[in-house]
Structure 1
């Protein structure tokens, strides 16, 4: 079964890490609509199956599959990348949507157990997906590694020390990957890019339903994030590699 031939990502193979959450579901839907073959991964097999089925149902001609992968295991991440490339012959993107949040009322109340958790979710998974997918992405003629980050990484608040520091470390790691892509491109410039999409926070329909009076000022809807993700492929690799692409005003 092949992906549909219509859309800007026709013929592309894109992996989505953290595919079972609201942002992941939106990304699967939009990438499939754009014509990509989409391979989602998540640690939650049940929620992942629901997300994959929803994307398949919405876009009947698309190839959307799911793998239950422990991205805290580097070998598992590498095996996932190898399976994708073997099955589909190429990898053109990794969208990193593994998330998590912990915070405190004040700086003094910061619980370092939060750091232990966020270091795994927000840094370790980025290390593993980047190391697992970097070489395959270099083999693409238009590859993308996309990290979804938060404005708090650039302007941390007192109660978000662990979260902001984790996001900042993930950004630095992604920028190092971008430098690797730049060097690999030589004088012609990179054909593969690593970029960071920055939001204040994300909102989705279920959140609005739970809090009908909330304004969610400055939040990015997961559907708009998914649209921006697809749009990164339409920009030249040299223009987006190593850059933060702001979907919210800079702090």
Structure 2
């Protein structure tokens, strides 16, 4: 999977990955470790996180891959995590936000507002906390990147996905505000750090394919392809990706 370019851009970088225990997190830890980065994953499931960290460590023996159980719904816990990472490794060059969650309904009229309460925490509050906790460290880095994974539904909501799409749209807006912070901090020279949004229709991984062998998963992005695209955000200058939606699926 190595493409040569990303490996240079990420060699020696220190990258924090929020939501590292899921399939996308596992793929991302592997890809970043392969590229020569020091990777610090967090997840609210210690067992799942340990498995993901071990898999990446074993695959790339020389890589530093560690895990930290963090409550991203608590701002102080998230700030403490950012402080620990910078203190231990000297800097932070990236935060990849992979915290997900989905709730939907048959139709718009059957929307359950309890779903919004959950999605607001998972998809918006965690973004608020990681961005506020890490933005100063990322600004101090010469290659700081904040990478949000979003969904096409944020731009074209469907009737049964009102809560999910609205939460994703809010997370995008919050991330774009962070991008404006980086733009202003860069002055006339342009930003040195960037906040970028990778947009997918949905994600697919091998276990899903095994469960539904006849499914087409049309337009879905494989988690390994997503991980490759995440690594690629460091290939480009900050000014090219800051405040940008980078589409991995058809643009609506």
Tell me which interval the TM-score lies in, with the shorter structure as reference length: over 0.9
Cα deviation for residue 11 of structure 1 reads 1.1
Structure 1 position 81 matched with structure 2 position 82 = yes
Cα deviation for residue 100 of structure 1 reads 0.1
Q: Distance in 2 between matches of 1:104 and 1:7?
A: 42
- Give the 3-state SS of the residue equivalent to 2:63 in structure 1: coil
Query: Corresponding residue for 2:240?
Result: 239
- Give the 3-state SS of the residue equivalent to 1:245 in structure 2: strand
Structure 1 position 196 matched with structure 2 position 218 = no
Query: Corresponding residue for 1:16?
Result: 17
Structure 1 position 137 matched with structure 2 position 138 = yes
Query: Corresponding residue for 2:209?
Result: 208
Is there any run of 5+ residues in structure 2 with no aligned partner, and where?
1-5
Query: Corresponding residue for 1:100?
Result: 101
Q: Distance in 1 between matches of 2:111 and 2:35?
A: 42
Query: Corresponding residue for 1:156?
Result: 157
Q: Any idea what the Cα deviations from partners look like across 1:6-44, whole Å, max 9, x if unmatched?
A: 922111000000000000000000000000000000000
Query: Corresponding residue for 1:25?
Result: 26
Q: Distance in 1 between matches of 2:249 and 2:237?
A: 22
Q: Any idea what the Cα deviations from partners look like across 1:125-176, whole Å, max 9, x if unmatched?
A: 0000000000000000011000000000000000000000000000000000
Query: Corresponding residue for 2:175?
Result: 174
Runs of 4+ with >4 A deviation: none
Q: Distance in 2 between matches of 1:196 and 1:91?
A: 19
Q: Any idea what the Cα deviations from partners look like across 1:179-211, whole Å, max 9, x if unmatched?
A: 000000001000100000000000000000000
The alignment's TM-score, normalised by the length of structure 1, stands at 0.97
Query: Corresponding residue for 1:7?
Result: 7
Q: Distance in 2 between matches of 1:49 and 1:146?
A: 23
Q: Any idea what the Cα deviations from partners look like across 1:29-79, whole Å, max 9, x if unmatched?
A: 000000000000000000000000000000000000000000000000000
Q: Distance in 1 between matches of 2:77 and 2:163?
A: 26
**RMSD value over aligned CA atoms?**
0.7
- Give the 3-state SS of the residue equivalent to 1:108 in structure 2: helix
Structure 1 position 53 matched with structure 2 position 54 = yes
Q: Distance in 2 between matches of 1:191 and 1:241?
A: 9
Q: Any idea what the Cα deviations from partners look like across 1:83-139, whole Å, max 9, x if unmatched?
A: 000000000000000000000000000000000000000000000000000000000
Q: Any idea what the Cα deviations from partners look like across 1:190-248, whole Å, max 9, x if unmatched?
A: 01000000000000000000000000000000000000000010011001000000000
The alignment's TM-score, normalised by the length of structure 2, stands at 0.97
Q: How many residue pairs align between the two structures?
A: 246
Is there any run of 5+ residues in structure 1 with no aligned partner, and where?
1-5
